Structure 1
C-alpha cells in the first residue's frame, strides 16, 4: 500500500476554497463565525525553537455579515437529505396548492441551511424556489447574500446574482457577479473576488473571470485570475488548476526574490509536479544577475518500505567571479543532496545521506542568503549505513566520507574518512540492581598524505544501582581495550610510531554516590521545597603511555560541569585519560508547590590524588565549577555558569544569560560568554512591541578581542488584519580568519530582505523567520 506525501498548496487554493463554500481548515479556526482571535500562548522562556505562530486575525473587525448569522443552526451538512424543510413568513398566498407565494421576513430552514428573503416562491412538490430582495443564505461553511437566488433544494442546484459571501470556519470574503451550482459537487462562479481582509477594506484580493470547481476530483480551474494589492494588479494567471481539498495538484508555487553579494539579484519560479499520491517533484528554474541561470529540482517519494528525497542544483555556465585555492576554469557547477531510509528486514534499515558539490567554492557563491550562519559551510558529509536495534542492543555498519567546501583551505583540514565502520552496543539487565553493557567500535580511517589504519575499541562494563529517593550509590566497573592495525608505511609519519599493531588496555572504575535532603521554606510570600544534594564521584583509571597511538578522531573536550562526572575528557577512542580523582559537588534546588524547579545552584571541583599524565597537568585540584539558574516567574529567567582555577588563579570560563518577557509579544535577551584565550563575546537580542501593529526586532553579537560585531541584525515588523510586512538588514562576518591569507582579516557582508505575508495565502519565503528564530531566543 502506498502512502500520501504532505500536500503542496498553490497560490489560488485559498480563493477556491472560499468561493465554493468549502470548510477550509485553519489553525486558528474555531466553531462558529471567524472573529477576532485571542492572543496565542507565548513560547516558554528558554525554549530554543519556538513553533511559528499561526496567522492572527485579532486586529480584524467582526464579520460584517453577522447581522443575520444564526448560531443555533446545525453545522452538519449530512443531515440535509433526512431533514424536513420549514418555511415561515408574515404573508402566505397558497391559492395554488403546490406553489406558495411568501412575503415579509421569509425564512426557509433545512438542517444546516437557512434562506431569508423579502419574498419567496416555493413549490412544495418540485422543491423549486425563487427568492428575491435582500436574500441571505447561511450554511455550515459560509454566509451569503444576493439580490436574487433561485434553485431546487432536493437537486442542490441554483443560481445567485450579485453575491456577497463571508466564510465562517476560516477567514475569507468576497463578491461574485453570479454563482451557479450544477449539483452538490460542481460549482462555477463568474467575476468573483476573494480576500481575508475586512469587508470593504481589501488591502489585497483575487479577481477571477471564472472559477469552476469539481469536488469529486478535488480540482478547481480558474481562468483570467489576477491578484491585486490595493488597486494595483500584482500577479496575473491566465489559467491555473488547483486542489480544492487536501489533494495535491500540479502548478506554480510562490516566486522568490532575493539578493546576495556573490549571486546578485535572484528570481526563482518553482513549479510543482503532482506525479502520484506517493511521489512528486518540484522544478525550480532560477536566474542570478551576477552568475547566470540555474535549474534546481526536488523529488520526493514514499513507499511502504522506503522513503527519501533527492535535491539537485545545476549551473550550466557560471559567469561569476571564483574565489579560493582551486585553480579551475570549469564553469559547470552543481550541488546534490540525497537522503533515503529503506527497511530491510525486522528492525534493520538502510540509511543513506549523500551530499556533494562540484567544487569547494559552491556554498560560498550560491549557499548564502539572509538566513545562513555567519561563516560559510566548511564540510559536507556523506554516509551510508545499515542500522538495527532491539530491546537491549543496537548495531550499525557503514561508511562516512567528507568533502571540503571552504574555498580558502586545502583538503588537509578534512576529518578522516571512515571506510568502513561498525558499532555494537548492548545494555542487558542481570538483576533489578545490576546490568551488563558493552560499547564496541571498529573503524578503518583513511586520509591521503596522513597515517592510516584500522582501530578496534571494546568497552564492556558492569553497573549496579543501590538507593532510595533519599540516597544512591552507583558503582561501575569497565574495561577498555583498543587495538590498531596501521598501514605498512606507518613509520614515515613520525618516530613515535614504533609499532604497526599497537594496543591499549586498562580498567575503569567509578563510584557515584549522593544524598538528597529536603525541607519546606518560603520566599517572597510563596511556599517552596528546598533540597540539599551532596554528591561524591570517585574515578580510577591507571596510566597507559599512548604516545605511540595515532589520533584519528579524538579531541580534548571543553571542561564544564558535566565533566566533573565523566570517565574521559577526550572524545573518540584514541586517548583515554588516566585518573585517580574524587569529585565533590553540592546542589540545592527550590521546587514550587507543583514540583517545578524555580531555582538551582551547583558547585563542584575535582581533587586529583595523582597527576593527569595523559591530559598533561600535575594539578591537585581542577577549576571550581559553578552553575546557577533562576526562574521565579514566567516573565524572566536567568542562567549562569562560572569556572575559576586555583592553579592559574584566573577565570577559565564564564557565561551569563538573562531572558525577560516584554508585554505579551516581546522578548529581551542579554548574554555574555567567556572562555580564556578563546572567546569573549556579548550578545543582545529581542523583540520589542511598539504597538499592537508594530514590532522592532534586533540582535547583535560583539567580539571583545576583535573589537567589532560578529553579526548584527535589525528590522521592523508590521502586522494588520490580513497583511504582515517584515524588513530586516543583516551585517555579518562572512568568512573568519580561518584559512584566509595572513593580514586579510575577516570578510564581512551585508544583506537586506523584505517580505510580505498575505494572511491566508502564505508568504514569499521564510528566510526572515529562520534568521530571527536562530538569533533571538524565544522569537515567534
Structure 2
C-alpha cells in the first residue's frame, strides 16, 4: 500500500488513540551508548567461558538495547540466549518476546513469540519469529495493524514481512487484509510504509455514484519513481460508461517543476466514442530574471467536463485556454512573450464566439524613477491574432491581423506623509496590419441574409489610433488613535480625487479582438481605460471622488475594519463604445461601496454594494458572514446579486461533534431561477485507526439546467496510505475556508 497521509480534521492522525500498552519502558530508554555494555544483578560461571546473568540484565550497544530476566553468554563466541520478559529496542522498532538469540558483535538478533511496535508510527502486531540486523528486519507468521490489540478494527496477516528501515518500506508476502475477522482482500505481495516517506503502492479506493455515470469506483496506484518524480495511475470503473484511466505525473528539479494530467475512456458505453482530457502545467526558472510558464489543455468533446467534472464551476467551463510563455522581470523593467490558444467547449455556442488566438503576444514595460519627483516609462505590446474561421469560405470568416500598442508616459509625483499628488502624461498609439480577409465588400453579407449582424469589414488595411492620456491622482492621509469594540485602534482616513482626460477619437474603423468592457468595481474608479485590451481606448473627461478608512489594532497591526466608497462624475458623454453599443450619456457612474469587518479571530463580515442613481436601482450587492471555530469548525452565509444576471443565497458549514464526528454541508440556491444550483451534506467519523466518510450531492450538471445526484463513500484504514481523496479535494473547492 502507499504512503500514509491523514488529511482529516484531527491535526494529529493518532490523536484519538490511547497510549500504547506494555511499552512504558520506552519513555526512559537511552540508545546513545557509545560502547558495548552488559549489566546484571548476578553473574554465575557455568563453564570454562559460559556465564549466566540474572536479574535486570541489559545489553547495550550503539543504537540498540536488549533486556531480559536471564541471559546465558558464551565469551569465546560472544553468543547469547535471553529468556524471560525479553525486550528489544532500536531507533525504529521495539519488541517484546519470550526468547532471543544473538551475538555481541552487533550481528542479527532473532526473537521468538514476538509482539512488536514500529517507533514513530503506530504499526504494531505479533509474529512467531523476528530477525533484526542493522536496518533490516524480517518477521514470520505475523499480523500488522495501526489499531491497538487485542481486537484491532483491521489488520494485515502475512506469511512474512521484510522491513527496510533505510528505505522506510515494508514488504508483505502472502498477505490478507481483514476488517475485524473478515478477510476482504488477499495480496500475494504488498508494500506499505513504516515511516512518513512516500512509497509506491495502492492508495485508498473510493466508491461513488452519480445518476449519469452510475457506480464510480476508483483504485489509485501511487508510483514513487524518484525523490523528485512520482506518478499516480487511477483506474476508474464507471458502471454505465466503462473503465476510465486517470494519470498524474509530477516532477521537480532545482529550477523546474510541473504536473501532467491525462484521462482516457475508450468507447464510452453511453456515447459510443473515445473520450479524454490532457493538461500540462509547468513553471521553471531560465535565468536570474527569466522564467517559463506553460498551461496546456485539451479535451475530447464539449461535454467532457459536464460528465466527469467534480465541481459546479468546472462543469460550466465555456472556454478552455492554453498558454506557453517566457516572462522576465528585473529592476525597473518587465517583458514577456506568450502564445495563447482557446478551445470553445460550450455546445450551445458556435465558433463565432471563440476568442482570437494570440500567436504570440509580446509585451515590454519600463518603469524608472531617477529621483523622487520624476518617474517615466513605456508600455509596449505586439500581438499576432488568428482565428479558427480565418481564411474559410464562410459568410462569417474571421481575418488574421497584427496589432501594435505603444504607450510612453511620464509622471511627476509629489509624495509626503500627509498625502500625495501624481500628475501623469501619456501618449497611446495603436496600429494594425489586417489580412485580406477583412477587406471584403459589405454587400457580400446583407444584414438580413447573415442571420444576425454582419461581420466587420475594413477598407483600410492599416488603421491606427493615437490619443493623449492625462491624469492627476491626489490623496490626503489622516490618522488618529481611537477604539473599536473596546480595543485600542489606529484609524486612517484617505479622501482621494482622480481626474482623467482622454480626448475623443472615432474608433469605429478599428477591429475588436480582445477588448471587453471591464466589470465595474472600486478599482475601476482609478483606471485610465474602462475597456480591456487595446482595441478601444475610452474617451474621458471625468473626476473620481473616493473615501476609504481603515481601523488597525495597535496591539498587532492587524486590520479590523475597512470601509470604502466612491463614484465617477462624467463631464462629457462616453462616446467610445464597442460595436453596436449606444453612447453612454450618464452624468455619473454607480456608487461603489464596501466594508470588511473582522471580529477577533473567529467572525468576519464582508459587504459590497453598487447603486446607480441614474435609474435609482442597485446594480450589484453582496454580503458574506463567516465564522471560524475550534477543530476546523466553520460556517459561511452569503448573498449575491447582479441586476438581471443572478441572485443567489449560499450557505456552508463544517460542524465537529466531539473529537470523532464531523458534519459538512452546503446549499447554493438561485432566487432568480427558483432552483437549487448545488446542495450536499455529509458525515465523517474518525477513530484511532479507521475513518469513514459519506457525502450526498444534488447539483446542476450542465448549462441546460439538468440536475443530477451523486454519492461519495470512503473507508480509510490509517497507515495503509493515501495521498489524496476525492471528498477532501471536493470540499476544499466547495466550502470557503475548508482546510484538511
Scaled by the length of structure 1, what TM-score is found?
0.84
Give the aligned partner of residue 27 of structure 2.
Answer: 70
| Structure 2 residue corresponding to 1:176, chosen from 127, 131, 143 | 127
Deviation readout 1:156-201 (Å, 9 max, x if unpaired): 31111121123332333222221012x3133211122222223434
Mapped partners of 1:52, 1:692: distance in 2: 9
1:776 paired with 2:724, answer no
Mapped partners of 2:188, 2:709: distance in 1: 38
Mapped partners of 1:130, 1:637: distance in 2: 67
**Is contact 2:210–2:708 with CA below 8 Å preserved after alignment?**
no
| Structure 1 residue corresponding to 2:546, chosen from 575, 585, 596 | 585
Deviation readout 1:535-563 (Å, 9 max, x if unpaired): 22222222222222222111112211111
**Is contact 1:356–1:380 with CA below 8 Å preserved after alignment?**
yes
Give the aligned partner of residue 433 of structure 2.
Answer: 485
Give the aligned partner of residue 639 of structure 2.
Answer: 672
| Structure 2 residue corresponding to 1:103, chosen from 42, 49, 54 | 54
**Is contact 1:428–1:437 with CA below 8 Å preserved after alignment?**
yes
**Is contact 2:121–2:195 with CA below 8 Å preserved after alignment?**
no
Change (3 A) 1:284 1:59: closer
Cα shift at 1:215: 5.2
Give the aligned partner of residue 618 of structure 1.
Answer: 585
Structure 1, unpaired ranges of 5+: 1-9, 15-25, 29-50, 323-330, 738-745
1:719 paired with 2:669, answer no
1:518 paired with 2:466, answer no
Mapped partners of 2:214, 2:708: distance in 1: 13
Give the aligned partner of residue 692 of structure 1.
Answer: 659
Change (3 A) 1:637 1:311: closer
Cα shift at 1:125: 5.7
Mapped partners of 2:621, 2:434: distance in 1: 42
1:368 paired with 2:309, answer yes
Deviation readout 1:62-102 (Å, 9 max, x if unpaired): 1223432233624xxxx55x33414132x332465754422
Change (3 A) 1:306 1:161: same
Mapped partners of 2:621, 2:661: distance in 1: 36
Matches within 5 A, 1:446-465: 446-447=386-387, 448=389, 449-465=397-413
Give the aligned partner of residue 58 of structure 1.
Answer: 15
Change (3 A) 1:266 1:755: same
Deviation readout 1:254-276 (Å, 9 max, x if unpaired): 44444344433234445555666
Give the aligned partner of residue 176 of structure 2.
Answer: 226
SS at match of 1:778: coil
1:755 paired with 2:714, answer yes
| Structure 1 residue corresponding to 2:699, chosen from 726, 732, 737 | 732
Mapped partners of 1:247, 1:688: distance in 2: 32
Mapped partners of 2:733, 2:193: distance in 1: 34
Cα shift at 1:729: 1.0
1:83 paired with 2:35, answer yes
Deviation readout 1:273-324 (Å, 9 max, x if unpaired): 56667656555444433223344545555567765554433333232137xx
Matches within 5 A, 1:150-189: 150-181=101-132, 183-189=133-139
Which of 694-703 and 307-316 deviates more?
307-316
Which of 717-726 and 521-530 deviates more?
521-530
Give the aligned partner of residue 299 of structure 2.
Answer: 357
**Is contact 1:73–1:112 with CA below 8 Å preserved after alignment?**
no
**Is contact 2:679–2:699 with CA below 8 Å preserved after alignment?**
yes
Deviation readout 1:355-387 (Å, 9 max, x if unpaired): 22333333334x234x46363433322333344
Mapped partners of 2:546, 2:167: distance in 1: 67
SS at match of 1:631: strand
Mapped partners of 1:661, 1:342: distance in 2: 36
Cα shift at 1:754: 0.9
Change (3 A) 1:184 1:232: same
1:193 paired with 2:143, answer yes
Mapped partners of 1:562, 1:110: distance in 2: 69
Scaled by the length of structure 2, what TM-score is found?
0.88
**Is contact 2:53–2:72 with CA below 8 Å preserved after alignment?**
yes
Mapped partners of 2:198, 2:13: distance in 1: 26
Mapped partners of 2:28, 2:15: distance in 1: 21
Mapped partners of 1:650, 1:225: distance in 2: 70
CA RMSD of aligned residues (A): 3.1
SS at match of 1:373: helix
**Is contact 1:64–1:199 with CA below 8 Å preserved after alignment?**
no
